[in-house]
Amino acid sequence: MIIQRVVLNSRPGKNGVPVAENFRLEQSTIADTIQAGQVRVKTLFLSVDPYMRCRMNEDTGSDYLQPWQLLEVADGGGIGVVEESKHDNLAEGDFVTSFTWPWQTVAILDGSLLQKLVPQLVNGRLSYFLGAAGITGLTALLGVREKGHVAVGAGQTMVVSGAAGACGSLAGQIGRLEGCSRVVGIAGTDEKCSILVQEMGFDAAINYKKGNVAEQLRELCPGGVDVYFDNVGGDISDTVISQMNQNSHIILCGQISQYNKDVPYPPPLPPDIEKIRKERNITRERFLVLNYMDKHEASILQLCQWIQEGKLKVRETMVEGLANIGAAFQSMMSGGNIGKQIVSVSK
C-alpha cells in the first residue's frame, strides 16, 4: 500500500532555529496485510509540541526522549481510526491514540500499544485527546497539583509564562479551579493577552514585548507571586522569580526559550536569581508527567468533566494536511499559535 510520510530531513543544530525544511514529505509503502496483534490505522490528527525540538538533536539531553533519526519517519502524539484489526480488543471503526504515532497517512501498529478513545468524553472533539484531555492537560493538572501546592482559601497568586500556549492556557485555568485567587498570564501579543482574560478567565495578562514586565508584575501581583507555572525560562522567568514570596513554588514545566541553546535541562538560574530562590526557600524541581502514571486515568476523567461542564476552555490551532506539518512546527516554535498545535491529516 502506498502512503505518505514525513521524515526528518536535516537537523537544525543544537543552537539552530528549526525551519519547515528540516522535514520532508515523501511517498513510502506499508504491507498489504497485517499480522496477529496488529491493526491498520488511518491517521486523523497529529500533535506538534515544543519538546520535539529536543528530538531534532542527535542527543536529546534527556533520558526519556529518543532522538529522531535522519531520513526516518518522525513520530509523536497521534490519533487515528482502525481500518483493519487482528487485535482482540480493537475493532474496525475504533478511535485510538498513541504517544509514538508515526507521521504518516496510514500505519500498521501493535494494537497493545494503542489506547482506545471514547469521543463522548470530549463532546466528540477527538483532537482534544492530544491536548486538554491528553498529555498536555495531564502536564498542566499534575504540575499544579504535584508541584504547585495550591490550597483552596489560601489567597494564592499564580503567574503563568507562555500562557497562551497549549499547556499554559490550561494551567492558568486549572490553577483557578484548584483554588488560586488570582491568575496572571504572560504572553507575546495583545491578541493572546485578550483571549487569556476574556475567554479563559485569567485576571490579567502581560504582553512581555510591551513595557516593563517587572513593573507590570508588581502592579498586577501586589502581594507577590506564590505559584509560578514556568513554560519558558530565561529572562521572563528571572523577572517572575525575583517577585516570588517566601516558601513559594515554581512548577518547572518547560523552558522553550532555551530549547535552541546547548544548555543542560533544567537550565541553571543566574547566580543572583539562584540566591533569591535559596533565600526565599522557593521550590524549583524537575517535573515529569510520566512519573505519575498511577494518577493519569483519574486526572484525564477530571479534565474531561471540566471540558463537558464548560469550566475548561480549549483553544487549538488546526493546520490542514500532513504536507504542512513542518511549517506548523516552525510556527509553534516561533510562538505564532494560540493553544494546542494540531495537524489534521485525514477526515
Question: Would you mind telling me the total number of residues written for the chain in this entry?
Answer: 347
pLDDT at 258: 45
CB 182 within 8 A of CB 236: no
State yes or no: pLDDT of 335 exceeds 80.
no
Measured CA to CA, the distance from residue 236 to residue 122 in angstroms comes to 34
For 333, the grid coordinates are: 516554535
Q: Is the dihedral of CA 150, 152, 153, 159 positive or negative?
A: positive
CB 6 within 8 A of CB 25: yes
Mean pLDDT value across residues 13-22: 90
List, in sequence order, every residue forming a beta bridge with 27; answer none if it has no partner. 4
Question: What one-character DSSP code corresponds to residue 120?
Answer: G
CB 249 within 8 A of CB 224: no
Confidence band, pLDDT 50/70/90 cuts, at residue 332: confident
Confidence band, pLDDT 50/70/90 cuts, at residue 288: confident
Three-state DSSP at 31 gives coil
**For 213-230, how does the pLDDT look when each residue is reduced to its tens digit (9 = 90+)?**
999 999 999 999 999 999
State yes or no: pLDDT of 264 exceeds 90.
no
Q: Which parts of 21-64 fold into alpha helices (H)?
A: 52-55
pLDDT at 304: 97
**For 57-87, how does the pLDDT look when each residue is reduced to its tens digit (9 = 90+)?**
998 777 788 999 999 999 999 999 999 999 9
C-alpha separations of 301 from 78, 124, 176 in Å: 19, 15, 18
What would the DSSP string read from start to end of 301-313? HHHHHHHHTT-S-
Mean pLDDT value across residues 262-266: 57
Measured CA to CA, the distance from residue 101 to residue 5 in angstroms comes to 11
State yes or no: pLDDT of 302 exceeds 80.
yes
CB 229 within 8 A of CB 171: yes
Mean pLDDT value across residues 92-109: 97
Label residue 114 exposed, middle or buried (CB < 10 Å: 0-12, 13-18, 19+).
buried
State yes or no: pLDDT of 50 exceeds 60.
yes
pLDDT at 64: 80
For 29, the grid coordinates are: 509503502
Measured CA to CA, the distance from residue 137 to residue 119 in angstroms comes to 16
Q: Is the dihedral of CA 165, 168, 173, 174 positive or negative?
A: positive
Taking all residues of the chain, what is their mean pLDDT, rounded to a whole number? 93
Label residue 275 exposed, middle or buried (CB < 10 Å: 0-12, 13-18, 19+).
exposed
Domains of the chain: 2-131+315-344 (3.90.180.10), 135-290 (3.40.50.720)
Label residue 147 exposed, middle or buried (CB < 10 Å: 0-12, 13-18, 19+).
buried
Confidence band, pLDDT 50/70/90 cuts, at residue 256: low
Measured CA to CA, the distance from residue 250 to residue 268 in angstroms comes to 14
Measured CA to CA, the distance from residue 152 to residue 36 in angstroms comes to 51
Mean pLDDT value across residues 285-301: 89
Mean pLDDT value across residues 307-311: 95
What is the separation of C-alpha 42 from the centre of its chain, rounded to a whole number of angstroms?
Answer: 24
Measured CA to CA, the distance from residue 305 to residue 182 in angstroms comes to 23
Among 234, 148, 151, 218, CA closest to 184: 218
State yes or no: pLDDT of 347 exceeds 60.
no
pLDDT at 137: 95
State the pTM of this model.
0.90
Calculate what percentage of the chain has a pLDDT beyond 90. Answer: 82
State yes or no: pLDDT of 245 exceeds 60.
yes
**For 180-210, how does the pLDDT look when each residue is reduced to its tens digit (9 = 90+)?**
999 999 999 999 999 999 999 999 999 999 9
**For 120-159, how does the pLDDT look when each residue is reduced to its tens digit (9 = 90+)?**
999 999 999 999 999 999 999 999 999 999 999 999 999 9
State yes or no: pLDDT of 26 exceeds 50.
yes
Among 55, 13, 254, CA closest to 143: 254
List, in sequence order, every residue forming a beta bridge with 252; answer none if it has no partner. 230, 286
Confidence band, pLDDT 50/70/90 cuts, at residue 261: very low
pLDDT at 260: 44
Q: Which parts of the chain fold into alpha helices (H)?
A: 52-55, 135-147, 166-178, 190-198, 213-220, 234-241, 271-279, 296-308, 325-333
Helix (H), strand (E) counts: the chain: 9, 15
